[in-house]
Structure formats: structure tokens, C-alpha cells
């Protein structure tokens, strides 16, 4: 049951992100292996998505635009015991316009996440980085990292760092 919920959560997450053009890599069929280990890698290349609002920290709240030339790779493994590991890396170009100032910024972003859980503990970590520049020389920089989990003794663990 836990494995089914994990796979369902992963599929739902990818669907919510609008990654309908993800295709499985040639090295993995992404097919479940009942009672054994299932592993899958999915890739996305050249996608375009709208941006904001709401926006990540450090990005003006009214900024809107697109991320383009997006490349991503997602990988998950679930073993027979229901332990699971997920990771993903996403990167691409960004164009943002801030209506309150009329300034348009261009640049690059990258994002990474990783999650793992078993019957005793769990850990989830992510980072987000963006560097954008406007023709007038102004910049938008954002670095966010966070993590949360639960130790084998049940102790919650959390960290967050944000630099603009």
C-alpha cells in the first residue's frame, strides 16, 4: 500500500507541474516490479512554462513571465520493503517582467530536490537558484535551500536558508 501511495504521489506531482511531455529514458521501463525494486528515470527537454505569481522568495511578487528551454531529469527508486528515494534537477532560462516597474529581467534558474523515506525516518531537501539581469544593470538573485525530515527516534528536523 505504501508503495502504491508513493508512486501515486510522484505521478500526481509530475502532473501538477504540467510535465506531460516527460518520457521515460531508454534505460528504464518505469514499470512496477511487484515485490522487487522499481526504478525509473524521466527526462524533459526544451519545455516552456508560465511563471508567477505567486513567486519564489526574492522574486518581485507581481513579476510574470516564462521559463523556457527547460531541461529536467527525475529519478525514483522504490524497493520491496516500500523504502523510496526520489530526486530531480530542473534548469532553464527565465524572462520576467515586473509590471510595477516596467523592467524586464532575463537569466537562468536551477532547482534540485531529493526525498527519501523508510519505516524509521525520512528526509526531504531542495535548493532553488536564479540570477536575472535587466538592461539597466539591475539584478534579481535568489538562493533558497530547505530541508525537513523525521529521525528514526521521531524527532522532526528542519532547516531553511534564503539569500536574496
What nine digits make up the cell of 75? 529519478
> What are the sequence ranges of the domains in the chain?
2-30+37-163
Compute the chain's Rg from CA coordinates.
18
- For residues 17 and 156, which has the higher predicted lDDT (pLDDT)? 156
**Could you identify the residue written with the cell 511563471?**
51
Tell me, what's the pLDDT at 33?
Answer: 76
Tell me, what's the pLDDT at 1?
Answer: 37
- For residues 156 and 1, which has the higher predicted lDDT (pLDDT)? 156
CA distance 113 to 116: 11
Q: Under 8 Å CB-to-CB from 48, ≥6 apart: which residues?
A: 66, 67, 68, 69, 70
pLDDT of 96 higher than 80? yes
**Could you identify the residue written with the cell 528515470?**
41
Task: Spell out a b/e string for 34-43, using b for 16 or more CB atoms within 10 Å of the CB, else e.
Answer: eeeebbbbbe
pLDDT tens figures, 21-42: 333 333 445 677 777 888 999 9
Tell me, what's the pLDDT at 16?
Answer: 37
> What is the reported pTM?
0.74
Tell me, what's the pLDDT at 29?
Answer: 55
Average pLDDT over residues 128-142: 94
pLDDT tens figures, 54-84: 877 788 889 999 999 999 999 999 988 888 9
Tell me, what's the pLDDT at 11?
Answer: 40
C-alpha distances in Å from residue 1, one per residue of 6, 12, 41, 64, 81: 9, 16, 22, 40, 11
Amino acid at each position: 500500500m505504501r508503495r502504491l501511495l508513493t508512486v501515486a504521489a510522484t505521478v500526481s506531482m509530475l502532473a501538477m507541474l504540467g510535465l506531460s511531455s516527460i518520457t521515460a529514458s531508454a534505460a528504464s521501463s518505469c514499470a512496477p516490479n511487484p515485490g522487487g525494486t522499481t526504478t525509473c528515470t524521466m527526462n524533459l527537454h526544451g519545455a516552456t512554462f508560465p511563471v508567477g505569481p505567486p513567486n519564489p522568495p526574492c522574486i518581485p511578487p507581481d513579476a510574470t513571465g516564462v521559463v523556457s528551454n527547460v531541461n529536467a531529469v527525475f529519478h525514483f527508486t522504490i524497493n520491496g520493503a516500500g523504502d523510496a528515494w526520489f530526486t530531480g534537477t530542473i534548469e532553464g532560462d527565465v524572462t520576467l517582467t515586473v509590471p510595477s516597474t516596467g523592467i524586464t529581467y532575463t537569466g537562468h534558474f536551477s532547482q534540485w530536490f531529493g526525498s527519501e523515506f523508510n519505516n524509521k525516518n525520512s528526509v526531504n531537501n531542495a535548493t532553488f537558484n536564479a540570477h536575472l539581469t535587466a538592461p539597466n544593470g539591475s539584478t534579481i538573485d535568489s538562493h533558497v535551500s530547505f530541508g525537513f525530515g523525521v529521525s528514526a527516534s521521531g524527532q522532526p528536523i528542519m532547516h531553511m536558508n534564503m539569500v536574496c
